[in-house]
Structure 1
Amino acid sequence: MTRTVLVTGVSGHIGARVAKALAADPEIDRVIGVDTAPPPSPAGEDGAVLGRTEFARVALRSPDLVKVIREADVDTVVHLSLLSGPGGGGSGGGRPAMKEHNVIGTMQLLAACQRSATVRRVVVRSTTAVYGSSPHAPAVFTEDTEPVEVSHSGYARDATEVETYVRGFARRRPDVTTTTLRFANLMGPGVDSPLTRYFSQPVLPTVLGFDPRLQFVHEDDAVEVLCRTARADHPGVFNVAGDGVLLLSQCARRTGRPVIPMPSPAFRLVSGLARGARLVDFSPEQLAFMSHGRAVDTARLAAELGWRPKYSTAAAFDDFLQSRGGPGELPRALVDWLADFVRPIS
């Protein structure tokens, strides 16, 4: 039975939601949320973001984490603190700080769990980005599929290393149930990611000649599956995604925004300009994803939990669109540059 849960990454949207949902469960005695900062409270909520969660300002790399786990007799750890981009979670320092937080921080957390006499369950949030995006990839990835091309940098690389350490921990502590959840791209009203920012722009540049298949998971379903695996033992690795896929062209039509196909080098240049304007921060693996896409099989999750996501990929994307207002604004110089670029080939 789950008694005391420690949730990392509670300054993030999903981490805060998971901590609050677990704290609302009367069968769970305590929920302790750890991060370098508490989540921002919307006006008038006065701390309601975390519910009755006890917040501890502790970094993953801090020796104080061992003390928190020991003194609270933590039996379940839900690790949601992986950063998907430089500067997230207050890390600052760009890519080196991101890697240190994701990889070294996870190593420290698992070391603390390994030394604990009370921890009996560890749930880790990972990503389907570990499979990569490649023209040689299979149509659908299962949990046992080896990636065709391994990412050598960024979030995907960090997640791959994190999963390696989780497998090592599971071998050293077979008495602890370890669950790794590989999430497709999150969608929903509260999700802020490079992909949601991309679809919020008034003009959508795409890679000429490519129409990738995309898969999403709604934030509500992400919270639900994290809570389910925190409350009961479900060992193993599981893909998490809404049913079905959407082509990028179908997503673009749903947004109602104009699409500008452009050669890959130009797409990378536009992405760089958008990054400089702090509109969209596409990493190399995300650029590959926008060319080749990715789809995963979720049969193992359905069989293990007896549960399927409430939202399909299309429904998750539609709910995200309904939560956003009109198109955002691109810098005038970028809009003019796009117009000048496509005029000679139109």
Structure 2
Amino acid sequence: MSRVVLVTGVSRYLACRLAGRLSADPSIDRIIGVDTAPPARADLDLLGRTEFVRADIRNPLISKVISAAEVDTVVHASVTATPHGAGGRAPMKELNVIGTMQLLAACQNSDTVQRLVVKSSTAVYGTSPRDPAIFTEDMTAKALPRSGYAKDAVEVEGYLRGFTRRRPDVSVTLLRFANFVGPYIDTPLTRYFQLPVVPTVFGFDPRLQLLHETDGIEVLRLASTSDRPGTYNVAADGVLLLSQAIRRAGRIAVPVPAPAVSFVGQAVRRSGIVDFSPEQMQFLNFGRVVSTDRLKETFGYTPQYSTEAAFESFLTGRPVTPVISSAALDAGESVLARLLRTKPAGRTTASVTSIDSSRGLRHG
């Protein structure tokens, strides 16, 4: 039986490398990569025998690509989290939501599609002070995302549920990925940690759960080449506090009062350095941690990198040059510790005398 896999968003980092991995699989007859723009010249060799088709999944003509090639497996990896990279928030929403609608319609009308893999995000769980310590796949957001990529991901999953009801014969795998890091991948979060001065929300130190890029690509490959239906959180074991991550990166944290966070976020986005959306800024308030038991026990994959190891790979692979060296931080902490251990007897006595005097007491 001929096997034909179609991958959307193939000009982007993850989909491009996934297509390259699939092209090395002799059991797959054809790999078709679809995107609105051709892959970068530097990525052409990575695609292997992937056949690139310049097509827009927002256009109903995508159904002709699927039917003409008799595609049996569709990997939808083109949902994007960066408005700037998509040309703005409106084009980003069209690509994410309208594009998914058209692609699902094409799959629904196809007689050959047997497997559908959709790349989503743990952002569908939202972020709020009422969140549980750990989200499982069966939980829903305590506060639904109201804008941006997170809202797009919620809508995409809603359309996917409708598709599964209409085409129960198609094996559907929904992958909710945590924030990616690694030596090569470029995301808003990796750029955030490359800022010399890192804005944080005053009074908050959220837990971060990450995922190494190689683990993400491998999970996509396994879902594309074998029947593993279901919804899965895909994240590394363990967490890092934001303060720990900033310290390890050798950056300078600048706490910003909560009312000013939106203004700081807008300034950072306008600079073009980091395409950090409002919901991603809110993520830095409360963080998010998800359960990966189903990924390990049902899907059958345990990430090779922990959150800590994935972040270290990001730091060493870039490399991210520290603004403050770890030696300087250690020295500063040592000085502070010595000061805290020292009991300033004279100052304490003066303080007590001052208090007594304020009460009108006299020392005889």
Q: Same fold (TM over 0.5)?
A: yes
CA distance in 1, matches of 2:80, 2:220: 17
Q: Which residue of 2 aligns with 1:249?
A: 243
Q: Deviations over 1:39-74 (max 9, x none)?
A: 2122xx7x2031110000000022331111111110
Which residue pairs with 1:166 in the alignment? Answer: 160
Equivalent in the alignment of 1:128 = 122
Partners of 1:212 and 1:98 in 2: how far apart?
Answer: 27
- In the TM superposition, 1:37-76 aligns within 5 A as 37-42=37-42, 47-76=44-73
Q: 1:86 aligns with which of 66, 83, 88?
A: 83
Matching residue's letter, 1:215: Q
Q: Is the 8 A contact 2:175 2:231 kept in 1?
A: yes
Q: Give 1:206 shift.
A: 1.1
Matched residue of 2:83: which SS? coil
Cα deviation, residue 262, structure 1: 2.2
* 3-state DSSP of counterpart to 1:308: coil
Q: How many Å separate the matches in 2 of 1:192 and 1:279?
A: 12
Partners of 1:118 and 1:16 in 2: how far apart? 24
8 Å Cα contact 1:39/1:49 also seen in 2 = no
CA distance in 1, matches of 2:185, 2:95: 21
Q: CA deviation at 1:97?
A: 1.2
Shift of 1:101: 0.9
Deviation at 1:203, TM superposition (A): 1.2
Pick from 272, 277, 294 the counterpart of residue 278 of structure 1: 272
Relative to structure 1, is the Cα distance of residues 97 and 103 closer, same or farther in structure 2, using a 3 angstrom cutoff? same
- Tell me which residue corresponds to 2:17: 17
Alpha-carbon shift at residue 326 of structure 1 (Å): 4.5
- Structure 2 counterpart of 1:336: none
Distance in 2 separating the partners of 1:130 and 1:50 = 30
- Unaligned runs of at least 5 residues, structure 1: 330-346
| Aligned alpha-carbon RMSD (Å) | 1.5
- Which whole-Å deviations, capped at 9, do the CAs of 1:156-175 have from their partners, x for residues lacking one? 00000000111110111111
Relative to the length of structure 2, the TM-score reads: 0.86
Give the structure 1 partner of residue 195 of structure 2: 201
State the 1:260 CA deviation: 1.6
Query: 2: CA distance between counterparts of 1:273 and 1:32?
Result: 40
Counterpart CA distance in 1 for 2:126 and 2:156 is 15
The 3-state SS of whatever aligns with 1:32 is strand
- Amino acid corresponding to residue 241 of structure 1 in structure 2: A
Q: What is the count of residue pairs matched by the alignment?
A: 323
Q: Which residue is 2:36 aligned to?
A: 36
What are the Cα deviations for residues 183-209 of structure 1, in whole angstroms up to 9, with x where unaligned? 000111222111111100111121111
SS of 2:31's partner is: strand
Give the Å deviation of 1:328: 9.2
Q: Secondary structure at the match of 1:61?
A: coil
Match of 2:326 in 1: none
AA aligned to 2:10 is: V
Structure whose CA Rg is larger: 2
Match of 1:332 in 2: none
Give the aligned residue type for 2:35: D
8 A Cα contact 1:127 1:181, kept in partner:
yes
Shift of 1:269: 2.5
Provide the rounded CA distance (Å) in 2 between the counterparts of 1:70 and 1:87: 33
Distance 1:180 1:50 in 2: 24
1:65 and 1:315 map into 2 onto residues whose CA distance is: 40
Match of 1:287 in 2: 281
For residue 50 of structure 2, what is the amino acid of its counterpart? T
On the 8 A contact 2:265/2:278 being kept in 1, the answer is no
Q: Say if 2:179 and 2:210, in contact at 8 Å, map to a contact too.
A: yes
Q: Which amino acid aligns with 2:68?
A: E
Aligned to 1:227: 221
* Counterpart residue type for residue 6 of structure 1: L
For the pair 1:305 / 2:302, whether they are aligned, the reply is no
Q: Which residue of 2 aligns with 1:340?
A: none
Counterpart amino acid of 2:119?
Answer: R
Partners of 1:128 and 1:274 lie apart in 2 by 24
Contact 1:197–1:280, Cα closer than 8 Å, also in 2: yes
What is the one-letter code of the residue matched to 1:51?
G
**3-state SS in 1 of match to 2:272:** coil
Moved more, 7-16 or 187-196: 187-196
Deviation at 1:327, TM superposition (A): 4.3
The alpha-carbon distance between structure 1 residues 48 and 82, as it changes in their structure 2 partners (threshold 3 A), is same
What is the CA deviation profile of residues 298-335 of structure 1, one whole-angstrom value per residue up to 9, with x for unaligned ones? 10111112220111111111101112234499xxxxxx
Q: Which residue of 1 aligns with 2:139?
A: 145
Q: Which residue identity is paired with 2:17?
A: R
- Residues 182-197 of structure 1 correspond to what in structure 2 (within 5 A)? 182-197=176-191
Corresponding residue for 2:5?
A: 5
The 2-side partners of 1:205 and 1:287 are apart by 10
Report the residue type matching 1:313 in the other structure: T
Q: 1:19 to 1:209 in 2, by over 3 A?
A: same
Seen in structure 2, the aligned counterparts of structure 1 residues 2 and 327 have a Cα distance that, compared at 3 Å, is farther
Distance in 2 between residues matched to 1:258 and 1:157, nearest whole Å: 31
The separation in 1 between residues aligned to 2:58 and 2:253, in whole angstroms, is 44
Q: Does the CA-based 8 Å contact 1:170-1:178 persist in structure 2?
A: yes
Unmatched tracts of structure 2, length 5 or more: 324-364
| Counterpart secondary structure, 2:186 | coil
Counterparts of 2:184 and 2:64 in 1: how far apart (Å)? Answer: 33
Whole-Å separation in 2 of the counterparts to 1:267 and 1:84:
19
- Pair 279,327 (structure 1): closer, same or farther in 2 beyond 3 Å: farther
Task: Check 1:326–1:61 CA distance in 2 against 1; reply closer, same or farther (3 A cut).
Answer: closer
